[in-house]
Amino acid sequence: MSNLNRSDEEQTLVDLATQVLPAGGFGNLASDIVIREGRGGRVWDVSGNEYVDFLLGSGPMLVGHGHEEVLAAVQEQVQRGTTFFANNEAGIRLAAEIVEAVECAEKVRFVSTGSEATFYAMRLARAHRGRDKILKFEGGYHGMSDYALMSMAPKRPGNFPQATPDSAGIPQRIREEVLIAPFNDPEMAAGLIKEHHDELGGIIVEPFQRLLPPQPGFLETLRKLATEYSIPLIFDEVVTGFRLAYGGAQAYYGVTPDLCAMGKVIGGGFPLAAVMGRSDIMSHFDRNAVADESFMPQIGTLSGNPVAAVAGLATLDILDRPGAYEKLFATGSALMEGLEALLEASGVPAVVIGEPPLFDVFFTSTEVKDYRGMQTNDTDRAQRFNATLRENGILKGDSKFYVSLAHDEKDVAHTLDAFAIAVKSVL
């Protein structure tokens, strides 16, 4: 029995959405819910139902919704102007903070979305290397560009290194420019890099792929071979940037790429992302630093937007305070350990995977270390589990619990109670 009520107002909005939006939504969360507001670690829908929010806008709200310091910075900036298409103080200071915090970042170029950041990172690598092919990893999500939508979620995975398009409308030729390797298989990755090194313009990887931590030696192998063959190594840290550590996954796992894409957290809930990396590679953005044939133009109306930049600066300031990541990890660990204990007691075959700031449960008895392991998830059980959580006041996506600094002991207790009910629903 659902604990939620659907008001006529919300149902009217859902009906209107089906008339004016493809599939009735924005292409993100399922379109049967309309969110009205968020505060701290919780959100409310238009019907007034309250949820502990583990969606967090798909991750940006790491310090919680409506943080007073972020709001104050935004409100002050809005009075001064909302966009300029020119350098602004907040954007410059945010770039400087990123350079200070992130090991690979010698220069930063802002864009508006994570898809743009990964797209430009791959283009930078190809421009610098003078080669066309990109090596990516099966199941890796790098946004919505043609290159990224190769073997992100193939229904019928092909033989490595053959790429499988994930979308209609992608030119057939793109398939020939992307090589696919399995995540967490250093031997196969090494073999493909050695075989194709003279064709590769770059290697792109999520250091923490979706929910999969890298196994010991995997990232180190990529780093070693990328260095050996002078192939730019790109970390997609749109999700992990400033989430796993203040310096991102590269600090957390101790492996430094040549280029990095970040988004979500660095915009503090506003549209902002960035590509960053070694000065010699980033110089392809500078017409005066490279030959004409090596110059890579990049223009974006809202790139470095001052409102997003002040929100990002305020968010990073909060995260840089003593104890911030300890609290974040303690909250996530309490949730992961509580869920693991309930699942073990139930006898349901399942594994909780991820890191404390970002995790989920997979209903399988198979080891989950790559995309094909993730495909063994019992999707019927997963859907029942997620639906029961929603009915009991927990909001999450189809996959991933995003944990925030704003989640408190009351949120954890509520969630553990909902976990107990949801586990019973999948027996």
**How far apart, in whole angstroms, are the C-alpha atoms of residue 157 and residue 184?**
16
Give residues with Cβ within 8 angstroms of 189, minimum separation 6: 135, 137, 181, 182, 218, 221, 222, 225
**How far apart, in whole angstroms, are the C-alpha atoms of residue 297 and residue 159?**
36
Do residues 234 and 121 touch, judged by C-beta distance below 8 A? yes
DSSP 97-147: HHHHH-TT-SEEEEESSHHHHHHHHHHHHHHHHT--EEEEETT----SSTT
**How far apart, in whole angstroms, are the C-alpha atoms of residue 102 and residue 259?**
11
**How far apart, in whole angstroms, are the C-alpha atoms of residue 230 and residue 282?**
15
**How far apart, in whole angstroms, are the C-alpha atoms of residue 225 and residue 187?**
11
Find the catalytic residue in 51, 141, 253, 371: 141
Give residues with Cβ within 8 angstroms of 260, minimum separation 6: 102, 104, 105, 121, 234, 235, 236, 237, 241, 248, 250, 275, 276, 277
Give residues with Cβ within 8 angstroms of 76, minimum separation 6: 310
Q: Is 141 a catalytic residue?
A: yes
Residue 261 three-state SS: strand
Q: Is 400 a catalytic residue?
A: no
Query: Can you give the length of the chain in residues?
Result: 427
* Sheet of strand 233-237, all strands in order from the earlier edge strand to the far edge: 107-111, 273-277, 259-262, 233-237, 200-205, 133-137, 178-181
Closest to 355 measured CA to CA, from 248, 283, 258, 270: 248
Q: Is 185 a catalytic residue?
A: no
**How far apart, in whole angstroms, are the C-alpha atoms of residue 400 and residue 388?**
15
**How far apart, in whole angstroms, are the C-alpha atoms of residue 314 and residue 303?**
18
Find the catalytic residue in 107, 136, 264, 369: 264
Find the catalytic residue in 236, 258, 360, 411: 236
Element (H, E) at 387: helix 379-391
Q: How far apart are the first and last CA of the chain?
A: 17
Active site residues: 141, 236, 264
